[in-house]
Amino acid sequence: MPPKKLLKPSQGKATNAEIELRVQTVIKMTIQGYSRAEIVRYGSNKWKIGDRQMDDYVAKAKDGIKEIASPDKDDQRAKSIARKEDLYQKAYKNSDWARCESVSNSLDKLLGLNEPVKTESDVNLKNFKVTDLIGFQ
């Protein structure tokens, strides 16, 4: 039976905090456009881990990116509204009326307030003449 290797504390299994930091690093690298090969090479050099472990981090990073990219729409809308309200208040406090108008228009657009109002009419104008409409005979 071969002798057991003695591991240095830094060579043992990564803690949850280290794993999270590594996954966050891989997420950032992915967002910045690094290729898988570059990410694996970085991880191998930086953390002294193999391709297989790096593939696990890359997979977790992909899941993390999906979570970032597809948040709850209502939650995102609420954050956006709050941000716009904050911007409006700051612009108003600074008497920046153009910025107030811009933020207000942006908020109206987000809330769908500047959509054209649709009206329906059942008036049939086929048999009318313009003079009929204005009261001339």
Q: Give me the residue spans of the domains in the chain.
A: 14-69, 72-137
Distance between alpha carbon 77 and the CA centroid of its chain, in Å?
Answer: 11
Confidence at residue 25, expressed as pLDDT on a 0 to 100 scale = 95
Residue spans of the chain under pLDDT 70:
1-11, 71, 117, 119, 121-137
The pLDDT assigned to 116 comes to 74
pLDDT at 9: 44
Instruction: Output the CA–CA distances (angstroms, integers) from residue 59 to 26, 52, 128, 129, in the order listed.
Output: 10, 11, 70, 72
Tell which residue, 95, 24, 99, has the closest CA to residue 60: 24
What is the model's pLDDT at position 5?
47
* pTM, rounded to two decimals: 0.48
> What is the spatial distance between Cα 94 and Cα 101, in angstroms, rounded to a whole number?
13
Q: What is the pLDDT of residues 32-63, one digit of tens each?
A: 999 999 999 999 999 999 889 999 999 999 98
